[in-house]
């Protein structure tokens, strides 16, 4: 009898250990490790640092409330400098050395597109807060994002040009080597033409270029009402400056990459419009609470990247709690059940793991202190 009881006791302990092992996937370690790949240095470092800081803010809040599955969440952050090869190195390091099963990142579409297949192949759940290129979630069932897609932004800005600015002639100046820029160009031009407009000039450059005068001369000769600039704030601020110096008076339009433009560009950027994932001025309780907490901790107003990073961390960690594990095969199902309002809007996922959410149109204006800021113009819902 005694022997039987001891045997039973041993069995119970073995089963309990096995359950803990299976549930955590790493033999009962006392933290949940999450990998983060962000461009915290390099040409879009304003984006990357804010996104990383917001992810950390979310994780610290969650840890202060007891963590996830009773464990503290530990972030392992890698900087890819917005270089797709370094994004791949970071993924391999996180997978092999740190043995994470969930990665938040990357920041820009070209970097994320460089690792989606590898993440899927290694069985890692990859969740990008910010990469909008349509193809990002095509690599498989373990790739998710919390931002809208480029086809939506391109379409919204073309429609805005025609319906709100009464434009009939558009020009586009884009980076021919960047997936984000080419994808946006396609959706903007297709919608502009479908709605009856004419694309009078399409000019391109290569990433890293700093002189756009030759292209601007050609665009000026075509006399467009609007000029679409699908690129990030650093390049766009140079283009706007050179365009205005040449006397091009078209209204300029852009995508989410323009966020931070107000901190970079001069007065010549005033009067142009872009779409974004949120407005820090929105009259919404969740937005205002997030803005207050972020300002309190980091001393600046969070940009859209920060809001998306904060949401991504909450969406993924809440799904791990629901799933009872960070095993990607179980977690992906829990993620698909997401149905809740976050800072950047209400999130549900479609069958391709893309959220269905609205975009905010913002105008670049001069604030009372003379500095550039954005003014909320309106919201556009997906059809």
Sole window of 6-14, 129-137, 157-165, 244-252 interacting with ligand PHE (rule: CB under 6 A): 129-137
Sole window of 28-36, 54-62, 115-123, 253-261 interacting with ligand PHE (rule: CB under 6 A): 253-261
Q: How far is the CB of 140 from ligand PHE (least distance, A)?
A: 19
Q: How far is the CB of 149 from ligand PHE (least distance, A)?
A: 9
> Which of 81, 175, 203, 256 is the binder for ligand PHE (CB under 6 A)?
256
> Which of 226, 305, 313, 323 is the binder for ligand PHE (CB under 6 A)?
305
Q: How far is the CB of 347 from ligand PHE (least distance, A)?
A: 16
Using rule CB under 6 A, residue 137 touches ligand PHE? no
What would the two tokens of residue 29 be?
């370690």
Q: Which CB, 153 or 325, lies closer to ligand PHE?
A: 153
Alpha-carbon separation of residue 333 from 125, 242, 267 (angstroms): 11, 49, 48
Q: What angle do CA 29, 95, 131 make, to 5 degrees?
A: 115
Sole window of 53-61, 124-132, 190-198, 235-243 interacting with ligand PHE (rule: CB under 6 A): 124-132
Using rule CB under 6 A, residue 130 touches ligand PHE? yes
**Cα-Cα end-to-end distance for the chain:** 70
* Total residue count of the chain as it appears in this document: 383
CA distance 183 to 206: 15
Q: Which CB, 108 or 272, lies closer to ligand PHE?
A: 108
Interface with ligand PHE: number of residues (CB under 6 A): 13
**φ/ψ of residue 52, rounded to 5:** -60, -45
> Which of 108, 120, 185, 344 is the binder for ligand PHE (CB under 6 A)?
108
Using rule CB under 6 A, residue 325 touches ligand PHE? no
Q: Which CB, 136 or 171, lies closer to ligand PHE?
A: 136
Give per-residue burial for 238-255: e unless 16+ CB within 10 Å, then b: bbbebbbeeebebebbbb
Sole window of 163-171, 212-220, 254-262, 346-354 interacting with ligand PHE (rule: CB under 6 A): 254-262
Cβ-contact 268, 252 below 8 angstroms: no
Q: How far is the CB of 260 from ligand PHE (least distance, A)?
A: 7
Q: How far is the CB of 304 from ligand PHE (least distance, A)?
A: 5
Using rule CB under 6 A, residue 180 touches ligand PHE? yes
Alpha-carbon separation of residue 358 from 34, 188, 201, 261 (angstroms): 28, 17, 29, 21
DSSP string of 123-148, one letter each residue: T-EEEESS---GGGGGG-TTEEESS-
DSSP, collapsed to helix, strand or coil, labels residue 74 as: strand
> Which of 39, 87, 116, 133 is the binder for ligand PHE (CB under 6 A)?
133
Using rule CB under 6 A, residue 109 touches ligand PHE? yes
Measured from the Cβ of residue 350, the count of other Cβ atoms closer than 10 Å reads 11
Query: What is the pattern of x (binds ligand PHE, CB under 6 A) and - over residues 275-304?
Result: -----------------------------x
Using rule CB under 6 A, residue 342 touches ligand PHE? no
Angle between helices 304-323 and 285-298 (to 10 degrees): 110
Q: Which CB, 78 or 225, lies closer to ligand PHE?
A: 78
What would the two tokens of residue 108 be?
């820009």
CA distance 124 to 133: 20
Q: Which residues contact residue 205 at a Cβ distance below 8 angstroms, ignoring those fewer than 6 apart?
A: 173, 174, 175, 176, 212, 215
Using rule CB under 6 A, residue 50 touches ligand PHE? no
Instruction: List binders of ligand PHE among 30-49 (CB under 6 A).
Output: 47
* Chain contacts with ligand PHE (rule: CB under 6 A): 47, 108-109, 130-133, 180, 256-257, 259, 304-305
């Amino acid at each position: 009898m005694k022997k039987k009881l001891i045997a039973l006791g041993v069995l119970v302990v073995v089963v309990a250990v096995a359950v803990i092992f299976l549930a955590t996937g790493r033999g009962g370690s006392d933290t949940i490790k999450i990998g983060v790949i962000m461009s915290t240095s390099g040409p879009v470092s304003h984006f990357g640092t804010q996104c990383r800081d917001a992810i950390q803010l979310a994780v610290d809040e969650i840890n202060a409330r007891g963590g996830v599955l009773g464990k503290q969440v530990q972030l392992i952050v890698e900087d890819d400098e917005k270089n797709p090869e370094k994004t791949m190195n970071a993924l391999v390091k996180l997978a092999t050395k740190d043995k994470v099963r969930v990665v938040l990142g990357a920041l820009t579409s070209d970097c994320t597109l460089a690792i989606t297949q590898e993440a899927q192949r290694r069985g890692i759940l990859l969740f990008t807060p910010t990469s909008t290129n349509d193809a990002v979630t095509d690599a498989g069932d373990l790739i998710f994002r919390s931002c809208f897609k480029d086809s939506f932004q391109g379409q919204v800005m073309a429609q805005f040009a025609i319906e709100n600015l009464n434009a009939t002639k558009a020009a586009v100046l884009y980076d021919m080597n960047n997936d984000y820029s080419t994808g946006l160009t396609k959706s903007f031009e297709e919608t502009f033409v479908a709605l009856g407009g004419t694309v009078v000039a399409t000019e391109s450059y290569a990433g890293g270029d700093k002189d756009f005068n030759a292209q601007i001369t050609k665009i000026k000769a075509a006399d467009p009402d609007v000029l679409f600039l699908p690129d990030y704030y650093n390049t766009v601020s140079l283009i706007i400056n050179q365009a205005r110096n040449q006397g091009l008076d078209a209204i300029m339009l852009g995508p989410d990459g323009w966020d931070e433009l107000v901190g970079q560009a001069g007065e010549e950027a005033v009067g142009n419009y872009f779409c974004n994932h949120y407005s820090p001025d929105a009259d919404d309780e969740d937005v205002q609470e997030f803005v207050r907490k972020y300002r309190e901790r980091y001393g600046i107003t969070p940009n859209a990247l920060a809001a998306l990073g904060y949401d991504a961390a909450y969406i993924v960690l809440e799904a791990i709690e629901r799933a009872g594990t960070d095993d990607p095969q179980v977690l992906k199902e829990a993620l698909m059940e997401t149905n809740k309002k976050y800072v950047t809007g209400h999130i549900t996922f479609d069958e391709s793991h893309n959220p269905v959410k609205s975009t905010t149109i913002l105008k670049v204006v001069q604030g009372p202190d003379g500095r550039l800021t954005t003014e909320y113009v309106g919201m556009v819902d997906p059809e």
